[in-house]
């Protein structure tokens, strides 16, 4: 079976405020960004791995792990800059070089609980479903509420007829681990998602994101479980 030509894009700016230089802090004896690079390299369906960054140290670390570097302009690296702006810039730079990828695999450094096998399975699912974009998700079994004008309201169930969790329709939370899209999607919508969208269910562990020092400790524990795939 022929698969589309896929590349991985990993945005990693240097201006993290919560944890300074978060993307190169060590996680299980490797810089955080290295986990995403190595996952992409491990994926047999990804041809090339690119890191978009404005930071010299991040670029140096990424190059040591065999990623190609795309220099992100300062105006696309501030606190208010979106990941989409970095992705569009990186894609334009790649296409200027003469390479026209069919799929972009967008990996977030802060969601490192995945494997190369997960990326391959996500690409395979997207192709099988003839989708234009895909996002990875994890199951959610929570009863959700919101407050509207001072009134509490149940969102995903009727509190007057509380169901058993196992009887609820499957629901998922966006876990931030894997996004895949065709180039035209982000060019047309300025969004990582568009057209026909597929869901790629993964484990609950894959929903772990790194925003604090404690998150590093939890992620290290999860990575040491020696799981070969987090896909369902």
pLDDT tens-digit series, residues 107-145 = 999 999 999 999 999 999 999 999 999 999 999 988 999
User: How much is the pLDDT for 146?
Assistant: 95
Question: In whole angstroms, how far apart are CA 124 and each of 45, 127, 174, 183, 222?
Answer: 9, 5, 19, 17, 25
Looking at the DSSP assignment, which residues form a beta bridge with residue 198? 134
Read off the DSSP letter of residue 3. -
Distance CA 85, CA 16 (A): 17
User: How much is the pLDDT for 16?
Assistant: 72
Active site residue 162: yes
Share of the chain above pLDDT 90, in %: 78
User: How much is the pLDDT for 228?
Assistant: 87
Give DSSP secondary structure letters for 14-74: S--SSSTTGGGSEETTEEHHHHHHHHHHH-TTEEEEEEEES-HHHHHHHHHTT-EEEEPPG
User: Model pTM?
Assistant: 0.93
Spot the catalytic one: 114, 130, 162, 165.
162
Distance CA 221, CA 34 (A): 17
User: How much is the pLDDT for 72?
Assistant: 93
User: How much is the pLDDT for 61?
Assistant: 97
Distance CA 208, CA 214 (A): 11
Start-end of H helices in 65-212: 83-96, 116-128, 183-189
pLDDT tens-digit series, residues 30-89 = 999 999 999 999 999 999 999 999 999 999 999 999 999 999 988 888 777 899 999 999
| Residue, of 25 and 165, whose pLDDT is higher | 25
pLDDT tens-digit series, residues 194-229 = 999 999 999 999 999 999 999 999 999 999 887 888
User: How much is the pLDDT for 173?
Assistant: 95
**pLDDT at position 1 over 60:** no
């Amino acid at each position: 079976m022929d698969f589309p030509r896929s590349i991985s894009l990993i945005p990693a700016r240097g201006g993290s405020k919560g944890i300074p230089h978060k993307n190169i802090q060590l996680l299980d004896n490797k810089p955080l960004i290295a986990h995403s690079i190595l996952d992409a390299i491990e994926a047999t369906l990804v041809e090339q791995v690119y890191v978009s960054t404005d930071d010299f140290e991040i670029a140096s670390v990424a190059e040591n792990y065999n990623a190609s570097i795309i220099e992100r302009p300062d105006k696309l690296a501030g606190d208010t800059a979106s990941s989409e702006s970095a992705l569009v810039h990186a894609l334009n730079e790649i296409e200027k070089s003469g390479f026209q990828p069919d799929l972009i695999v967008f990996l977030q450094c802060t969601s490192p609980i995945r494997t190369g096998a997960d990326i391959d399975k996500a690409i395979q699912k997207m192709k099988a479903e003839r989708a234009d974009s895909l996002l990875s998700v994890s199951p959610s079994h929570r009863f959700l509420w919101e407050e509207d004008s001072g009134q509490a309201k149940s969102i995903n169930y009727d509190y007057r007829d509380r169901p058993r969790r196992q009887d609820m329709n499957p629901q998922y939370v966006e876990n931030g681990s894997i996004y895949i899209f065709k180039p035209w999607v982000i060019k047309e919508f300025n969004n990582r998602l568009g057209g026909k969208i597929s869901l790629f269910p993964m484990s609950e562990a894959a929903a772990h994101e790194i925003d604090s020092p404690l998150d590093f400790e939890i992620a290290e524990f999860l990575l040491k479980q020696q799981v070969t795939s987090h896909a369902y």
